[in-house]
Structure 1
C-alpha cells in the first residue's frame, strides 16, 4: 500500500463541539514567579505557534519517514543499558559496588527515564512546530489549566516511578546480570515487544471503550478528556482510579501474556511512552507506529497520530479506542474515518 497522503473535506461529527478553554494564566507568569509545579509543567510547552490559530493549510499532511524515528529511538533508548553493561564490565567483581542493588538500579533507571522523557518531549515539540498540528485552523493546542498543573506533575511522577519499578519487578531484576544482547535481551526483542504492545492494546481497548460507555467509568476517565487538543505530557493526565488501571493493571496483564525481562521492559516502556506522547501531540503528518506499521498496514489496522487526535475531539462519543494499533477498533467497528490523513 502506498503512503501517499491526501486531504478530505470531511468533518468530525457534531458531538465533537468545542468547549470553552479552561483558564491557564500560569503560562503568562514570568519565569521567576512560577511555582515548582509550574516550572515542571513548562517542560511540555511547545512553541507559541502551536497555541495560536493558524491559516488553513491547503496541502495534505506529509508522510513522515518512520525510519527517522526508528533511528532516533535506537539512539535515545540504549544509553542507560550501555552504561549499566559497561559498569559491570569495568568495575572488578571483587569490588563491593560491582553489582547494583535493586534500590540503586531503581534510582538509576527512574532518573534515566526522566531524562529520556524530557528529550523525547523536545523532539516531539520540534515536529509540532515544523509540521503544524491537526485542526490548527479551527483551534490550536490546549494549555494545561491552572487547576490541573499540580495534578499533571504528580501524575508524571507516579507514572515514571511506577513504570520503572514495574519493569524491575515484572522482569525479575537480577543484580548479577548486566544488559546483554542474546541473554537478558532477546535477539528477537522487537518481536517480543510488538507482541507485548498488541496484548497491552487489547486490555487497554476493553477498558477504554468501557470508560466511554459506562457512566461511572466515564466519570473516572473524563479528566483525561478535559482537552480536545492535547500536548505530549497531557497523555499522562488522569484521575487516581485511571492511573491505577492504566499505569499498573494494564501493563501487568500484558506482561502475563508476553513476559519481558527487566532490560526488555526498559526498551518497551520507552517505546510505549513515545507512542503515548506522539499520539497526544497532534503533529500534522502521517506519522505511523514505529514498530507495527508495516505489519498492520495491509489490513487497515495501522495507527497514526491523527487517530487518537480525533478520539479527543470526539470526546465521550468515542471511536478510536486503541492507542498502539487499530486491530480491535477494526474488528469491533469503532474506527473513526481520518479527516486529513487518508491513505490511497
Structure 2
C-alpha cells in the first residue's frame, strides 16, 4: 500500500513539473541511508562527521501543504548574523599583531600557521552556517515539502561528502592565501588589506565568478559527457546544506580551483577580502541547497540586482535541482546570466517576489 502511495505522489509531482516546464522530468527514488539510524558509537568517523548535515526530523517527512506564501526573510538580520559569524577570525588575527610585541618571535604568523588557523576557522564557520540553515529549515519549513521532503545523504556517498568538504576547506583556504598574496607582516585592517569599499569589490568579484560558473554549469547540463561528471551532484532533487559541496573529482577541480582562479585573474582580491568572499560563497551555496521556504536573497547583491529581476533566492537553486538534467537556473550567486541568456525558470512558491 505504501509503495502505491509513494508512486502516486511521485507521478503527481512529475506531472506538475512537466506541466510547468513543458518538458519531461525524471525523478529518482531515494537511495538507502541506513547510517542515519545507527547509534553514535556504531557510526564510522565519516558518518559521525556527516551528522553536521542532519536537519530536524521534520524536514525528512512530508508536511501538510502550506497555503500561505513564503515569508520575506530579513536581509539585514542575515547581514548582521554573517558579520558576527565571519569577522572573529579576522579580529583575532589583527588583535594578535596588536598585542604581541613586534620584537617577539611570534609577532607575525608564518604562512603555514595562517593556513591552519584559517582552515580551522573555515570549518567552524561551515558548521555554524549549517546550524543556521537547519534552524530556519525547521522554522519556515522547506520548498515542496508537501510533495517530498529533504533527502538524506545516501550510505554510499557519506565518505565522498566528507572528503569533498575537507578538500573544499583546505583548497579554498590555501588558494586564498596564494591568490591574495599572503604577507605575514600585514594583519587584517580596513583601508589596507581590506578595502573600504570591499562589499562593492567582493560583489563585482562574485558576479564575475558567476559568469564563469554559469558558462561551465550550463555546459555540464547540455553536453552528455560533462553531465556524467556533474550528475553525482544531482543525485538528489531535494538536497540539504552540505550536499552543496558533494561532487566528483573533476567537478571539484573545476569549481574549487579553476573558477576562482579565473575570477581572480580578472579581479584580484587581497588575502583577507578573498577570505570574506569564500565565506559568502559557502553561505550562499549552503542556503541554496537547504530549501528553506522563504524569500531569502543574496546578502550582498540583492538591492543591486532586484530592480532588474536578476536577484537570486533560495527557491531558484532548489528548482534547479528538481528540474535535474533539463537545466534552468544555472547561476549560483545571481540570475544575471540566466536572465540574459533566457535560462530562468519561473518561481513556483515565491511568484509574488
TM-score range, shorter chain: over 0.9
Matched with 1:56 is 65
Gaps in structure 1 of 5+ consecutive residues: 1-8
Deviation of 1:133 (Å): 0.2
Give 2:129's aligned residue: 120
1:342 equivalenced with 2:351 (yes/no)? yes
Deviations 1:104-163 (A, max 9, x none): 000000000001110111011000000000000000000000000000000000000000
Correspondence for 2:301 among 282, 292, 298: 292
Secondary structure of the residue aligned to 2:113 is helix
- Using the TM superposition, give the Cα deviation of residue 12 of structure 1 relative to its aligned residue in structure 2, in angstroms: 4.3
> Is 1:236 matched with 2:242?
no
- Measure the CA separation in 2 of the matches of 1:190 and 1:69: 15
Map of 2:118 onto structure 1: 109
Q: Which residue of 2 aligns with 1:258?
A: 267
After TM superposition, the structure 1 = structure 2 runs for residues 1-344 of structure 1, keeping only pairs within 5 Å, are: 12-13=20-21, 15-343=24-352
**2-side partners of 1:113 and 1:48: how far apart?**
27
- Following the alignment from structure 2 to structure 1, what is the Cα–Cα distance between the partners of residues 298 and 110? 35
Checking the alignment, whether the CA contact within 8 Å between 1:84 and 1:179 is kept in structure 2 is: yes
Verify the 8 A CA contact 1:12 1:314 in the aligned structure 2.
no
Runs of 4+ in 1 over 6 A off after TM superposition: none
Q: What is the rounded CA distance, in whole Å, between the counterparts of 1:274 and 1:237 in structure 2? A: 15
C-alpha root-mean-square deviation of aligned residues, in Å?
Answer: 1.1
By how many angstroms is 1:252 displaced?
Answer: 0.6
TM-score normalised by structure 2 residue count: 0.94
Deviations 1:192-228 (A, max 9, x none): 1001100000000000000000001000000000010
| Structure 1 Cα separation of the partners of residues 157 and 103 of structure 2 | 50
Give the Å deviation of 1:295: 0.5
- Per the normalisation by structure 1, the TM-score is 0.96
Query: Which of structures 1 and 2 has the larger relative contact order (alpha carbons within 8 angstroms, sep 6+)?
Result: 1
Q: How far 1:17 moved relative to its partner? A: 4.0
SS at match of 1:46: coil
